[in-house]
Amino acid sequence: MHVPFCDSKCRYCDFNSWELKDSTILVTVVDALIKEAYERANGLQPQTVFIGGGTPSLLPPDLLEKLLNGLHEATGFRESSLETTLEANPESFCYKTAQAALGGGVTRASIGVQSLRSEVLRAYDRAHTPNGARDSFLFARKAGFQRINLDLIYSFPGQSLLEWFEDLAEVISWKPEHLSCYELAFEPGTPLSQAKETGNFPDKNPDAALRLFDETRTLCESSGYSAYEVSNFAKAGEECIHNLAGWRSLDCVGIGAGAVSWQAGIRRKNPANPDDWLESVLTCNTTAQIERPNPKTRLFDCFLMGLRLCDEGVSVSRALRQTGLNPKEVWSKELQEFFSENLLIEVGDCIRTTRKGLRLLDSILARLLPEESRGRSRPEKV
Ligand code: SF4
């Protein structure tokens, strides 16, 4: 479920998020989210729920309660969901919001910390301070959250290993259950990319970024967080069940502006602009894009997502069930090359990366990318 508004737009962000100019629209957005949940997920009994954005914690506590009550009445998630996550940002995640979320059935908070350095947060145009991030973690714990993820970004240009480790060590000392550590990406069209292209923001050093990637894994693993995905680290049993489903290419129903659904091989994308999405829901006039990717593209997507799971990789039998194609037949030559180059290995039913292959994941995927898929939009990020 996507809440598409943020306090302000971060300079690196290419998510479907829009600056909230008038908070009265949130009432209409919540009504429309509930209406869409009734229409598209009635009685679904979902195994997981992820309320993301944007910044869902922008919803005032009473509206968040209304949304969660409506979602439960439509889907029954409070009885069925193994994990219900709310994304939150420090500038809007207060103790009352945390309480409303917990009371409404949310079981996991995911907080966007990104950095504990004022100059970095300012360079990103983040709407909070380092102390705001520290407070939001405390609010979540005090309210009673037992499962908390913290999002961080490393590889700020010029960032030394020591500076990054100071941030990372501090958040580890808070004892969250889960950490997501992303390398800063210059996504096309973002203000940060434009600033870089015009010489107004420095580029990253790729060798330094690779070292930070390696050392991040080492520090997280030595602190008791298993590196179960390229950018995600969890205490035992604290992996994000919802995102695991995404990396395994399982079906989901997406609700809200720009939300993507996958059901029985059909991809559906809601209108990205909140006004367009609101109009389509409130007038019952669907303008979603519907696409049925061909089996080879779907198989590639299974590898694109599944190879991110470091210890698990892609289940060959599941990929066959999902696409009708056996990757060992479709890519017999390529896979043999990857095995002999020690980039991929086969363990039981699964094909996964080696440590070497994980660092070269982009080039592995580039060699598997079907001709007809070049230039097509990527599957949504998880
Ligand atoms: S808070 Fe998150 S979704 Fe919103 S603009 Fe910043 S990075 Fe994007």
pLDDT of 380 above 70: no
What residues contact residue 103 under an 8 Å CB cut-off, 6+ apart?
65
Q: How far is the CA of 309 from the centre of ligand 1 (A)?
A: 25
In a domain, 143, yes or no: yes
Nearest CA to ligand 1 atom 7: 13
Question: How many angstroms separate the CA atoms of 375 and 377, rounded?
Answer: 6
Note whether 152 and 236 are same-domain residues: yes
The best mutation among 3, 6, 184 to test binding of ligand 1, ranked by most ligand atoms within 8 Å of the C-beta, falls on: 6
Runs of H (alpha helix) within 223-354: 241-247, 274-282, 295-306, 316-323, 327-330, 332-340
pLDDT at 382: 45
In a domain, 267, yes or no: no
Note whether 239 and 340 are same-domain residues: no
Quote the number of domains for the chain.
2
Note whether 315 and 224 are same-domain residues: no
Note whether 17 and 125 are same-domain residues: yes
In a domain, 133, yes or no: yes
Beta-strand pair 83-88/48-53: parallel
Q: How far is the CA of 54 from the centre of ligand 1 (A)?
A: 6
In a domain, 270, yes or no: no
Q: How far is the CA of 330 from the centre of ligand 1 (A)?
A: 39
In a domain, 382, yes or no: no
In ligand 1, the atom with minimum distance to the C-alpha of 89 is 1
Q: How far is the CA of 204 from the centre of ligand 1 (A)?
A: 21
Which candidate, 306, 299, 327, places its Cα nearest to that of 382?
306
Q: Hey, which bits of 131-259 come out as E strands?
A: 148-154, 178-183, 226-229, 232-234
Element (H, E) at 143: helix 130-143
In a domain, 171, yes or no: yes
Note whether 362 and 222 are same-domain residues: no
In a domain, 273, yes or no: no
In ligand 1, the atom with minimum distance to the C-alpha of 13 is 8
- Read off the CATH number of the domain in which 340 is found: 1.10.10
Note whether 243 and 305 are same-domain residues: no
Note whether 115 and 47 are same-domain residues: yes
Rg (CA), the chain: 21
Note whether 192 and 106 are same-domain residues: yes
- Read off the CATH number of the domain in which 161 is found: 3.20.20.70
Which candidate, 156, 174, 150, 23, places its Cα nearest to that of 87?
150
170-184: string of b/e by CB count within 10 Å (b at 16+)? ebbeeebbbbbbbeb
Nearest CA to ligand 1 atom 3: 54
Note whether 215 and 332 are same-domain residues: no
The best mutation among 13, 57, 86 to test binding of ligand 1, ranked by most ligand atoms within 8 Å of the C-beta, falls on: 13
Q: How far is the CA of 253 from the centre of ligand 1 (A)?
A: 22
Question: How many angstroms separate the CA atoms of 200 and 193, rounded?
Answer: 10
In the beta sheet, which residues pair with residue 88?
111
Note whether 243 and 303 are same-domain residues: no
Write out pLDDT tens, residues 149-204: 999 999 998 889 999 999 999 999 999 999 999 999 999 999 999 999 999 999 98
Q: How far is the CA of 112 from the centre of ligand 1 (A)?
A: 8
Note whether 207 and 314 are same-domain residues: no
pLDDT category of residue 375 using cuts at 50, 70 and 90: low
Nearest CA to ligand 1 atom 8: 13
Query: How many CA atoms are closer than 13 Å to the CA of 156, on its beta-carbon side?
Result: 22
Q: What is the mean pLDDT of the chain?
A: 95
Note whether 67 and 142 are same-domain residues: yes
Entry pTM: 0.94
| Domain boundary residue, one of 247, 274, 307 | 247
Question: How many angstroms separate the CA atoms of 307 and 184, rounded?
Answer: 20
| Parent domain of 309 | 299-373
Nearest CA to ligand 1 atom 2: 54
Write out pLDDT tens, residues 285-328: 888 999 999 999 999 999 999 999 999 999 999 999 999 999 99
Note the Cα 369 to chain centre separation in Å: 22
In a domain, 7, yes or no: yes
